[in-house]
Amino acid sequence: MDLNHIKGIGEKTVSYLHNASIYSVEDLLRFYPYRYQILSPSLLEETSLEEVVTINVIVSQVPQVSYIKRNLNALRFVCESNGKRIRVTIFNRAFLKRNLVVGKKISLTGKYNAKSNTFTANDIKFSWLDDAKIIPVYHSIKGIRPITLEKLIDEVLQNNLQLEDTLPLELKEKYRLISISDALLKIHKPKSKEDVKQARRRIIYEELFEFMFKIQYLKQLKHESVGQTKHFDQKKLDCFIESLPFSLTNDQRKAVDDGLKDLESSRCMNRLLLGDVGSGKTIVATILLYANALAGYQTAFLAPTEILAEQHFRSIRGLLADSSLEIDLMVGSLSKKEKENILERCQSGQIDVLIGTHALLNENLFFNRLGFIITDEQHRFGVNQRDKLKSKAVAPDMLFMSATPIPRTYALTIYGDMDTSIIKEKPKGRKDIITKVVKEKDLREVLLKVLEEIKLGHQVYVVAPMIEESEESTLKNVELLREKFDLAYHGKIPMGVLHGKMKKDQKEEVMHDFKIGKSKILISTTVVEVGVDVSLATVMIIFNADRFGLATLHQLRGRVGRSDLQSYCYLICNEDKERLHVLEESNDGFYISEKDFEFRGEGDLFGVKQSGDMSFSLADIRRDYDILMVAKEDAEEYVVKKMYSGSQHFKEIIEKIDFTN
Ligand code: ADP
Ligand code: MG
């Protein structure tokens, strides 16, 4: 039902609600309180100076109003509370004066100062507060006062809206869940804690069930889909693996085997390659795309940023230099002519491997025989983006790579519809990165270490503080840091600066200078967050480290320690944050992600961007893990038995599924 149907709602309010993604009456009802305040009357003698309390009193003297300033008035009166007379002050409520007649029972909310025997109220209600009252507290919506929001919700609830219950009946009965109408009433207007509990139980289960339904549905669909069987020259492939400058770790070998089996099988590959930063995923992908090429198919390799695309391009081309493969790079900043050239050669099948950013999604880009799609840092791409690429091929094999460490149990849930290969083992000779949390005032210690390392011919990354994600101020921070470092080293150390607003060639030049060691310190925003590979870099300094989740910090730290040199990471912050010490203790991404989860909940699970599919209103997959598991089983049965057919609601859910996930 449209918001305009709510009695007394205005245009403006509607548009503010729209801004908060509330488009219908149902959306409004599903804007749940995020916590509850439990109000119960206090006794005056039990209150302390700081505490906000509510007390029941009787007015015993007519109020006086005094006007203090133009926008400030005070209403003062005397009350009796349990036989004790106290003085009450409330500001800017002169209009209440005539309601406050002697003998009236009212309740006051505010703070009591026993010394002066005054109660400074911030709210007055014209009745006594009886027993405990549960008051919902909502996140604020820009432009809408909390009281207005409550009124709107009240209005809707009073109209006794009959919502269709979307949860299958047998599941509701199985867990004795209350109906959705009941749940919505109880979540907004609970009469007891039990009401809140029942309502939450119902809504959380529903959220998780629908979430798992989508995953199970996808899984089912993928099991049914048939792809190409790819035949490749195993000897040539073995030769290639032999020729690598290092031998694969066991985990890498296993991942390669998994992937090759997928390519050979008639089922489509739908595999997640999960491995910590620096664990060597790129080489696994390279071997697989080589096999794909040997079988006569093209590969598209999608990376989230230009820098990364370029790096993959360079390293893959380097690794496959002796092959006859045609490998190209497609990024937004290419000239029109360069792009056209790529479009042409891609369509004709001349290009075997096309690496690129979202520029690969170009509508005019066609492949001749696209058989394999690799997506790096897959969670960074939007739903439609991946969809588009997939549509350029017929039943392609899909490999997703992620360095975002996710606790394994959760990974299996979230990526429940994919096969998974995990690289845990680091390449031989890698040393743990020595990590230290340092207060900003002790920066000197870090600056000295930097000097020491630079004298050894090593290099340093500096990540500038990120301020409220505003590019302007982050830019300023990068410049400020450069000045600071220049001052500290008397301008004697060559430095590069990298940020999101730079032109492609500028970025390229800065990166290049750093890669070849022309500059020794690279100061940047989090642009360098993923994947950049400079093996002589041994120090990573992260400012305002407390602003990042542990998983993100761990990823940033992974820019160093990519050779057998001892590396260091300094986490600079103003106050000591307990959680940062987890990084001092451990270099294990999975362990760190477990800890991150403990400290921050699922919010930061995916690092920078959160996948839309994963945002629940009430459910928290960590806290509600048991419910999630039950919902998973239920959803599986529901999907396998195709019990959803005939339900309009589930039809709608299916329509909204991101099929590239
Ligand atoms: P990821 O993409 O997983 O973060 P990369 O694939 O970029 O990691 O690999 C990091 C570095 O380790 C690269 O320089 C790569 O050449 C090197 N490397 C990969 N596998 C091995 C291995 N088995 N032994 C030694 N070095 C390796
Ligand atoms: Mg990588």
The verdict on the CB of residue 284 being under 6 Å from ligand 1 is no
Cα 313 to middle of ligand 1, angstroms? 15
Find the helix or strand (DSSP H, E) in which 421 lies. strand 419-423
- How high does pLDDT run on average in the chain? 86
pLDDT tens track for 160-200: 777 788 899 999 999 999 999 999 999 999 988 899 999 99
The answer on pLDDT for 125 being more than 80 is yes
Token pair 């008051």 is found at 135
Cα 439 to middle of ligand 1, angstroms? 32
Domain coordinates in residue numbering, the chain:
1-38+138-161, 234-423, 434-586
pLDDT tens track for 354-400: 999 989 988 899 999 999 999 987 666 655 666 677 788 888 999 99
CA 554 to chain centre: 15
Is the distance from CB of 532 to CB of 307 less than 8 angstroms?
yes
- Which residue puts its alpha carbon closest to atom 15 of ligand 1? 280
For ligand 1, mutation pick of 355, 533, 556, 557 (most atoms within 8 Å of CB):
533
- Which ligand is closest to the CA of 378, given by its number? 2
The answer on pLDDT for 604 being more than 50 is no
The verdict on the CB of residue 298 being under 6 Å from ligand 1 is no
Q: Match domain 1-38+138-161 to its CATH number in 2.60.40, 1.10.150, 1.10.3470, 1.10.10.
A: 1.10.150
Sign of torsion over alpha carbons 289, 292, 296, 302: negative
pLDDT tens track for 248-261: 999 999 999 999 99
The answer on pLDDT for 613 being more than 60 is no
- CATH homologous superfamily for 234-423? P-loop containing nucleotide triphosphate hydrolases (3.40.50.300)
pLDDT tens track for 83-96: 899 999 999 998 89
Is CATH 3.40.50.300 correct for 434-586? Answer: yes
CA 57 to CA 414: how far, in whole Å? 54
Is the distance from CB of 534 to CB of 474 less than 8 angstroms?
no
The verdict on the CB of residue 318 being under 6 Å from ligand 1 is no
pLDDT bin (cut points 50, 70, 90) of residue 38 is: confident
What is the atom index within ligand 1 of the atom nearest the CA of 558? Answer: 4
- Which ligand is closest to the CA of 559, given by its number? 1
Looking at residue 167, what DSSP letter applies? S
pLDDT bin (cut points 50, 70, 90) of residue 533 is: confident
Which ranges of 278-435 would DSSP assign to H, the alpha helix? 281-294, 306-319, 336-348, 383-390, 408-414
Tell me the whole-structure pTM to 2 decimals. Answer: 0.62
- Which residues sit opposite 121 in a β-bridge? 90, 110
CA distances (Å), origin 28, targets 276, 300, 593, 616, 645: 41, 42, 34, 15, 28
pLDDT bin (cut points 50, 70, 90) of residue 318 is: very high
Separation of first and last alpha carbons in the chain: 31
- Range of lowest pLDDT (311-320, 548-557, 592-601): 592-601
pLDDT tens track for 477-493: 888 889 999 999 999 99
- The whole-number pLDDT of residue 551 equals 80
pLDDT tens track for 498-528: 887 788 788 878 888 998 999 999 998 875 5
> Which residues, in sequence order, are CB contacts of 127 under 8 Å at separation 6+?
105, 106, 107
The verdict on the CB of residue 282 being under 6 Å from ligand 1 is yes
Shared fold status for 234-423 and 434-586: yes
Cα 537 to middle of ligand 1, angstroms? 15
Angle at 260 between CA 410 and CA 294, to 5 degrees: 140
The verdict on the CB of residue 607 being under 6 Å from ligand 1 is no
CA 23 to CA 102: how far, in whole Å? 47
The answer on pLDDT for 617 being more than 90 is no
